[in-house]
Amino acid sequence: MGMVVKNYKMLCHLLNQEPKTSDSKKAQEKEWKRFFDWTREGQKYIIINVHNNQLPKDDKRYDGNNKNNRKEYEQFQISIEDDQKKGVYR
Q: Where does the pLDDT of residue 86 fall: very low under 50, low under 70, confident under 90, or very high at 90 and above?
A: low
- What is the rounded CA–CA span in Å between residue 8 and residue 44? 8
pTM: 0.62
User: Lowest mean pLDDT: which of 11-15, 24-28, 79-83?
Assistant: 79-83
Contacts of residue 62, defined as CB under 8 A and 6 or more positions apart, other chains included, come to none
Checking if the pLDDT of 90 tops 60, the result is no
